[in-house]
Chains A and B, each alone.
Chain A
Amino acid sequence: MFLQLLANGLVTGSVIAIAAVGVSLVYGILRLVHFAYGDVMAFGAFVGFAFNVTLGLPILVAALLAMVATAGLSVGLEFALWRPLRRKRAGFMSLFLAAIGLALVLRQSLLLAAGPRPRSFDVDPYKVYVLGSVRLSGAQVITVVASATTIVLVALLLDRTTLGRTMRAMADDRALAAIAGIDTGRVVIVTWILTGSLAALAGILAGLVQSTFEPNFGFQLLLPVFAAVVLGGIGSAYGALAAGLMLGVAMELSTWEGLLGGVNPVYKPVVAFSALILALLVRPQGLFGRARTI
């Protein structure tokens, strides 16, 4: 049972991790706490659904197309909303509130377009892979493989490519990066393309893992994701990744009977939040963040 929960935890954790990397990059490079990210994920999931179920395309193709569409949405929003706000020198609060407003608009638009009933992707629900005492569904295996690949690719991008280094430079010190001649405008667009795609992927994988999903599920996902970002240290993509995996595992393992009977599975998100609050009490800057100075 323990190993099964651990495996489930890694699956959940990898989805959280991918989304957390996206949120972290948006914060690091754009100084925006992207409160609408969960609903962007939901958008990606539903676009994926449209391609996969309504149009009958295989899940992989549908996912890629959804990633393109969501990247497009993100870039569109950059020009319609974020760039004008930055030009008005909007501060943290304005951006936060705009993101909250956007979240509302996105979610209600999804409800308007698709209705509130739950949907599922077109994957074989009976396919099971057995690894020792662990049973994984087809959806879970797809999720693990896709996440692992994505994580490796993103890590390579950030670490080995000029673009990645540029992004990290901007996240570290934007003014300095601009002075150093980096085309900040271009990096911003690339950031939105990347994080939009990650959001779509995370949304689809979450939809796969949960079996059913409806337009409100983005917000429920968002909180553990934020917890991972904060735990990992806001602005640290690697931190977000590690924290995402750990939180997923913690959430699943908390229900293990061996732990004094285990937590009621309904309270799993509460476990994530409690872990967040506890960690912040011990280490206010997060696991990988830098200590605050005056």
Chain B
Amino acid sequence: MSAGAILEVRGVVRSFGGVRAVDGASFAVAPNSITSLIGPNGAGKSTLFNIISGFLRGEAGVVLLMGREIQHLAPHRIVGAGLVRTFQTARALSRLSVLDNVVLAAAGHPGERLSGVLLRRRAARECERDARERASELLRLVRLDRHAGDLAGTLSGGQRKLLDFARALMAEPRILLLDEPMAGVSPPLRAQLLEHILHQRDELGMTFLLVEHDLDVVMRASDRIVVMSAGAVIAEGTPGEIRGDQRVVDAYLGSRP
């Protein structure tokens, strides 16, 4: 279908007790771009996110990450394959420090394996040192470095979203799925977060798939927009194309089937 797409979703279906939350959704995400997934409440966006990231099983359909089928993989394996997601409510680990939160996302840390703790002490120490350096850098990037030693539970909602973002970047993803990154974030922090996202795409070639309700952000930042309604994709295109699309207007104004 779409050659070179980083992420491809084909015909995914998922029901809950007889209701089709996702009804044959299909779209593709090109590398080095920002794609936004929008639609009214109940359109199936979060469910689709959960299916793509492995937290939910689809009943039918295929999810391809760089050409490889991932729909049957456990969430942690999908992370290993290069797809990282954040959650709608920031899942900061409150009883760990801000720095530890980010360090945790380091992949392949020998100190995190029991065998490594016992047998590969030096490698583990080195990896830990490197991870802490890289984590500090990321915290500096999102301007949370002042709070590095604080417990994550002391951060505000918006700060936690930034922490989630830094943490996700730490995992060195090829594609980053952000579930309503702007929700619950104050306007100044929103601007910051948007700036970071754009920076990642422009300077570092990162790919993003966002679920977002803030249409202002969506229109400004997205390269492509995918519109969902009642579990299916009803429109796909650039912000300009979507703005004028009658189907999208109808979906939002509630003339849903």
Which A residues contact B (CB, under 8 angstroms)? 290, 293-294
Contact = CB atoms under 8 A, between A and B. Distances in A.
* Consensus secondary structure, chain B interface: loop
B56 interface: yes
A294 B55 CA distance: 7
A236 to B, nearest CB: 14
Contacts of B50: 294
Contacts of A293: 16, 56
Nearest to B50: A294
Contacts of B56: 293-294
Interface residues of B, number: 5
A114 to B, nearest CB: 47
Contacts of A290: 17
Contacts of B16: 293
6 contacts: A290-B17, A293-B16, A293-B56, A294-B50, A294-B55, A294-B56
Contacts of A294: 50, 55-56
A294 B56 CA distance: 8
Nearest to A294: B55
A227 to B, nearest CB: 26
Nearest to B21: A293
Nearest to B56: A294
B29 to A, nearest CB: 22
A293 B17 CA distance: 12
Nearest to B55: A294
Interface in B53-76: 55-56
Nearest to B57: A291
Contacts of B17: 290
Interface string B13-39: 000110000000000000000000000
A41 to B, nearest CB: 35
List 6 tightest A-B contacts by C-beta distance, closest first.
A294-B55, A294-B50, A294-B56, A293-B16, A293-B56, A290-B17
A293 to B, nearest CB: 7
B58 to A, nearest CB: 13
A160 to B, nearest CB: 25
A290 B56 CA distance: 15
A93 to B, nearest CB: 16
A178 B186 CA distance: 32
Nearest to B46: A294
Interface string B37-53: 00000000000001000
A52 to B, nearest CB: 48
A293 B55 CA distance: 9
A290 B17 CA distance: 9
A173 to B, nearest CB: 14
Nearest to B53: A294
A293 B57 CA distance: 10
Nearest to B87: A294
B136 to A, nearest CB: 32
